[in-house]
Amino acid sequence: MRPDAPLVSSEPVVVPTPEGRFEVIGWQLPGGPGNAVAEHLSLTAPSPGRVPVGRPPLVRLHSECLTGDVFGSFRCDCGPQLHLALRRIAEDGGTLLYLRNHEGRGIGLVNKLRAYKLQDGGADTVEANELLGLPADARDYSAAAAILHRLGLSRIRLLSNNPAKAERLADLGIDVVAMVPNEVPARPENHDYLVTKRDRMRHRLRHVDDTTAPRPGAPEPADRTGGTAHSTFDRTFDSTLDNDLDSTGDLTP
């Protein structure tokens, strides 16, 4: 997206959900495939009175995932992450941006299915994209940064396990003062995928091997700490909303 691209917003409407009530705004801007108009959503919940005055708001950038968010696919953790983030924002106040055109980390829905086929043949999620001649992560966060600036959210706590998101937002003028983990329980169907995100993509996933057993024949994890830290964002996790594993196997804030 060009820095001077026009950003058009809808009037805010209240949308009740199982996680809480959110003020939803639709955003339109050029930059989709073929320069089509891309559409995104912001879902905002007010901060409760118990939140300290001046505390930066909680923000989640959620990349569109049709298979996980809509159909509940177990191949990824996107759907559970979405619902956990909405619940946390409803409780603590903040904003979730639902970013379209991010399907399959930006490679598109059909290519994501092609990548799944390669994963079924033994490739991991990074290798599958590369075998298709595509980047491991093709997402563009300039639209997200533009929306955050328009909302007046230039200083935030980022609800994410991915330091790369914080780095890209910082490059786009967003001050990420802390990262808050948004880890959900792994499943046998997505264990290898999450291990790859942890070991090859720097995601801070500390409970992957605590919440499920890997599928039979899966390799032993190379690193329980999330791989080598490449920036300060690899280590800036907020402790006030950290995840703990309870006796039922659920991750609760």
For residues 158 and 212, the answer to whether their CB atoms sit within 8 Å is no
How buried is residue 221: exposed, middle or buried, by Cβ count under 10 Å (0-12/13-18/19+)? middle
Q: Is residue 168 part of a domain?
A: yes
Q: Is residue 231 part of a domain?
A: no
Q: What is the mean pLDDT of residues 195-207?
A: 89
Q: Is residue 169 part of a domain?
A: yes
What is the domain range of residue 174? 13-102+139-200
Q: Is residue 170 part of a domain?
A: yes
User: pLDDT tens digit string along 113-171?
Assistant: 999 999 999 999 999 999 999 999 999 999 999 999 999 999 999 999 999 999 999 99
Q: Is residue 54 part of a domain?
A: yes
Domains: count for the chain:
1
C-alpha distances in Å from residue 50, one per residue of 47, 55, 69, 200: 8, 11, 31, 38
User: Which run of H or of E encompasses 114?
Assistant: helix 109-120
3-class SS at 164? Answer: helix
Confidence band of 208 (pLDDT split at 50, 70, 90): confident
The reported pLDDT for the residue numbered 84 is: 97
One-letter identity of residue 230:
H
> For the CA atoms of 172, 174, 180, 182, what is the dihedral angle to 10 degrees?
-40
Q: Is residue 176 part of a domain?
A: yes
Confidence band of 245 (pLDDT split at 50, 70, 90): very low
Handedness of CA 48, 206, 187, 99 (dihedral sign): positive
> For the CA atoms of 69, 72, 73, 76, what is the dihedral angle to 10 degrees?
50
- Write out the catalytic residue numbers: 137, 139
Pick out the residues of the known binding site for GTP: 60-64, 81, 103-105, 125, 160, 165
Pick out the residues of the known binding site: 60-65, 76, 78, 81, 103-105, 125, 160, 165
User: Which run of H or of E encompasses 40?
Assistant: strand 37-45
For the cut 60, the answer to whether the pLDDT of residue 226 exceeds it is: no
Pick out the residues of the known binding site for Zn(2+): 65, 76, 78
CATH number assigned to the domain comprising residue 146: 3.40.50.10990
* CA distance between the termini of the chain: 35
The reported pLDDT for the residue numbered 218 is: 47
The reported pLDDT for the residue numbered 174 is: 97
Q: Does the pTM exceed 0.85?
A: no
